[in-house]
Amino acid sequence: MNSFPYPSMRDRFDLRFYFVVGPDDCGNRPILDVVAKALDGGASFIQLRAKTQDVAEIVSLANDIAEEIAGHHVEHSVAFVVDDRVDAALEARAKGIKVDGVHIGQDDLDPVVARKLLGPDAIIGLSAKTVDEVREANHLPEGTIDYIGAGPLHMTATKPESMIVDENGDITTLNVSSIDEMRTMSKYPLIVGGGVKADDIPMLAKTKADGWFVVSAIAGATDPEQATRRLVDDWTAIRGDEKPRYTGRKPAATKLPAVLTIATTDSSGGAGIPADLKTMLANDVFGECVVAGITAQNTTGVQAIAAVDPSIVGAQIDSVFDDIRPTAVKIGVIVGVESVKTVARKLRDHQATNIVVDPVMVATSGSSLAADDTIAEEISSLFPIATVITPNIPEAQVLAQMPIGNQADMETAAVQLAKDYGTCVLVKGGHGVKDADDVLAFPTGAVTWFEGERIANDNTHGTGCTLSSAIASYLAQGEDLEDAVRDAKAYLSGALRANLNLGKGHGPMDHAWAMH
Ligand SMILES: Nc1ncnc2c1ncn2[C@@H]1O[C@H](COP(=O)(O)OP(=O)(O)O)[C@@H](O)[C@H]1O
Ligand SMILES: Cc1ncc(COP(=O)(O)O)c(N)n1
Ligand SMILES: [Mg+2]
């Protein structure tokens, strides 16, 4: 059982408005009241700094403060750490108290040891007084600490131990140029504190610092809420109020299934390879492409088309499969018989899976995209390795050699093609007069209809490319074919419904409709 049930705050803390507080800093007031007021005023980070309390007292205080933060419903945005006491932080976390980490000083526990003890999910902040200490922090092993607290800005009674003594033995403090030098040097976000008062904020906000940290400017104020709000407002007046994203920490490695399109470019971006890659991006897979033809094309037609040397087509496939191996492959227009043969051979060699073949013959604009001998080669060498082929009605008429005038004809053609080629066949109804229903036939003779409401949008350039790429994307994510078609169709419908209107002819769709 995980006794600490909260997600790590390491990738989501907000250092800008950092309140450091202990029971002895609040005069006669209960610390919880002061913390509550600071939260009301906009504090974005809380540190419990209890120098004279023992572990049991710190854990109990931490429990109360964590509950106060949760009571304000900011436990997922306001991080809470304890100063120095890794032992107390560990005990609190083991008890399920939401202590997100620790802040440690130069003379406290070694940060490397603290990281070992606390594990990878806890925030660790480190104090630094000088550029040299920042440089040393940079040399810590990757992932040891999360931020730097630099100071003091002024001499302070709350932290007498944090004086900076220069080479002459004189006591010094930070200033604009030393702050900027430290922040420039630092791999980590850096906040400045130590005697910081409200009057300092406009100056600090103009430095490269990522935020301020204060004790008495809030804990010692007559009205801690108002004091916090002023510190926050004076900062955001200069820096804006956007929550920062720190880039210092490398996030945990992530994986995406890769999907490859083997197709032809469309210079206007709405169909072919550009449409395929945009579809993959929008459907949570990593898109790769093998260019098997080039068009000069826009929404009014295909002005020119060129083949790519078949050996270059083959080399691209090798490059892709030898490194980021795709889980699914979408095949669109391939220009030239030799390139079709090469694609079929390479996909067999690399044992490609989840192959979606879109047997494109004519673009939405009416321009022809495939010569008869190329189509014949696709039928003989690509259909046998396909998981599914996706002809539209005109293409299905050619392939099945029958006229298609209604939905019964669509189904008959799909069933016949599925039997003939031993593969699944999706006959798409975009060219039908009624609705936008598609029919999927299996080699067994089974049939599934996918109903789609016809969307009143003539900007359908790239619908077929987009649907087949989306099917490949969902297959790569482990869906079965029926679910993949259903989800792909839903994505496509959204892209049509977004009603993008570009170009003089049948324009492209908005592939990013769900991302805006
Ligand atoms: N106006 C429309 N409204 C809703 N869906 C459509 C529309 N036009 C096409 N579709 C859908 O787009 C997909 C591609 O079909 P289609 O346009 O027939 O292919 P192609 O682009 O190869 O000619 C199919 O799922 C089809 O149902
Ligand atoms: C390079 C290229 N490939 C395919 C299509 C088909 O477009 P649609 O998806 O509208 O059938 C196209 N117009 N251009
Ligand atoms: Mg098509």
Backbone angles phi, psi at 265, to 5 degrees: -70, 150
- Calpha distance 262→281 (Å, rounded): 16
Q: Examine the domain organization and report whether 124 and 36 are in the same domain.
A: yes
Q: Examine the domain organization and report whether 174 and 224 are in the same domain.
A: yes
Structural domain ending residue among the three candidates 239, 274, 292 = 239
Band (358; pLDDT cuts 50, 70, 90): very high
* Minimum mean pLDDT range among 117-121, 228-232, 364-368: 364-368
Task: Name the DSSP letter for residue 251.
Answer: P
In a domain, 182, yes or no: yes
In a domain, 433, yes or no: yes
- Calpha distance 45→215 (Å, rounded): 12
In a domain, 249, yes or no: no
Question: 216 among the known binding-site residues?
Answer: yes
Burial class of residue 149 in the structure, from the number of CB atoms within 10 Å of its CB (0-12 exposed, 13-18 middle, 19+ buried): buried
Structural domain ending residue among the three candidates 180, 210, 239 = 239
The residue contributing the CA closest to ligand 1 atom 20 is 464
Q: Which ligand is nearest to the CA of 453?
A: 1
In a domain, 330, yes or no: yes
Return the best residue to mutate from 276, 289, 465, 496 for the ligand 2 pocket (most ligand atoms within 8 A of CB): 465
Q: Examine the domain organization and report whether 292 and 431 are in the same domain.
A: yes
Return the best residue to mutate from 364, 463, 485 for the ligand 1 pocket (most ligand atoms within 8 A of CB): 463
Residue 40: what pLDDT?
A: 97
Q: Which ligand is nearest to the CA of 359?
A: 3
In a domain, 245, yes or no: no
**Nearest residue to 287 (alpha-carbon basis) of 276, 298, 297, 296:** 276
Does residue 297's CB lie within 6 angstroms of at least one atom of ligand 1? Answer: no
Q: Report yes or no: 97 and 121 within 8 Å, Cβ to Cβ.
A: no
> Taken in order 221, 79, 151, 179, is the CA torsion positive or negative?
negative
Q: Examine the domain organization and report whether 312 and 460 are in the same domain.
A: yes
Structural domain ending residue among the three candidates 239, 266, 299 = 239
Does residue 496's CB lie within 6 angstroms of at least one atom of ligand 1? Answer: yes
The residue contributing the CA closest to ligand 2 atom 6 is 363
Asked whether residue 491 carries a pLDDT value surpassing 60, the answer given is yes
* Minimum mean pLDDT range among 248-257, 321-330, 389-398: 248-257
Angle at 147 between CA 195 and CA 175, to 5 degrees: 40
The residue contributing the CA closest to ligand 2 atom 10 is 462
Q: Examine the domain organization and report whether 188 and 272 are in the same domain.
A: no
Give the number of the atom of ligand 1 that is nearest the alpha carbon of residue 438: 27
- Calpha distance 58→87 (Å, rounded): 10
In a domain, 332, yes or no: yes
Six-digit token pair at 158?
Answer: 């709350």
Band (363; pLDDT cuts 50, 70, 90): confident
The residue contributing the CA closest to ligand 2 atom 14 is 272
* Minimum mean pLDDT range among 206-220, 238-252, 373-387: 238-252
Q: Write out pLDDT tens, residues 115-150.
A: 999 999 999 999 999 999 999 999 999 999 999 999
Asked whether residue 260 carries a pLDDT value surpassing 70, the answer given is yes
- Calpha distance 221→34 (Å, rounded): 10
Q: Report yes or no: 172 and 197 within 8 Å, Cβ to Cβ.
A: no
Residue 426's domain spans which residues? 258-515
Give the number of the atom of ligand 2 that is nearest the alpha carbon of residue 295: 1
Q: Examine the domain organization and report whether 205 and 318 are in the same domain.
A: no
Q: Examine the domain organization and report whether 221 and 286 are in the same domain.
A: no
Six-digit token pair at 214?
Answer: 């204060």
Q: Examine the domain organization and report whether 84 and 194 are in the same domain.
A: yes
Q: What is the CATH number of the domain that holds 133?
A: 3.20.20.70
- Calpha distance 361→372 (Å, rounded): 9
Give the number of the atom of ligand 1 that is nearest the alpha carbon of residue 457: 1
Band (251; pLDDT cuts 50, 70, 90): low
Q: What is the CATH number of the domain that holds 395?
A: 3.40.1190.20
Task: Name the DSSP letter for residue 378.
Answer: I
Six-digit token pair at 33?
Answer: 């009241």
Q: Examine the domain organization and report whether 168 and 272 are in the same domain.
A: no
Question: 84 among the known binding-site residues?
Answer: yes
Does residue 396's CB lie within 6 angstroms of at least one atom of ligand 1? Answer: no
Asked whether residue 426 carries a pLDDT value surpassing 80, the answer given is yes
Does residue 276's CB lie within 6 angstroms of at least one atom of ligand 2? Answer: no
Q: Which ligand is nearest to the CA of 334?
A: 2
Residue 392 CA to ligand 3 centre (angstroms): 6
Say which residues have a Cβ less than 8 Å from residue 116's Cβ, sequence separation at least 6. none
Does residue 128's CB lie within 6 angstroms of at least one atom of ligand 2? Answer: no
What is the CB-side half-sphere exposure of residue 362 using CA atoms within 13 A? Answer: 12
In a domain, 204, yes or no: yes
Give the position of tokens 């904020």. Answer: 201
Six-digit token pair at 495?
Answer: 């892209």
Q: Examine the domain organization and report whether 29 and 96 are in the same domain.
A: yes
Residue 117: what pLDDT?
A: 96
Asked whether residue 247 carries a pLDDT value surpassing 60, the answer given is no
- Calpha distance 204→176 (Å, rounded): 7
Q: Examine the domain organization and report whether 298 and 427 are in the same domain.
A: yes
Six-digit token pair at 376?
Answer: 């014949």
Burial class of residue 371 in the structure, from the number of CB atoms within 10 Å of its CB (0-12 exposed, 13-18 middle, 19+ buried): middle
Does residue 264's CB lie within 6 angstroms of at least one atom of ligand 2? Answer: yes
Does residue 463's CB lie within 6 angstroms of at least one atom of ligand 2? Answer: yes
Task: Name the DSSP letter for residue 85.
Answer: -
Angle at 222 between CA 74 and CA 230, to 5 degrees: 55
In a domain, 212, yes or no: yes
Six-digit token pair at 343?
Answer: 């694609």
Does residue 359's CB lie within 6 angstroms of at least one atom of ligand 1? Answer: no
What is the CB-side half-sphere exposure of residue 103 using CA atoms within 13 A? Answer: 26
Domain count across the chain: 2
Residue 1: what pLDDT?
A: 41
Displacement of CA 425 from its chain's centroid (Å): 34
Return the best residue to mutate from 360, 427, 463 for the ligand 2 pocket (most ligand atoms within 8 A of CB): 360
Q: Examine the domain organization and report whether 385 and 266 are in the same domain.
A: yes
Catalytic site positions = 428, 460, 462-465
Average pLDDT of every residue of the chain: 94
Measured CA distances, 333 to 259, 357, 386 (Å)? 17, 9, 15
pTM for this prediction: 0.62
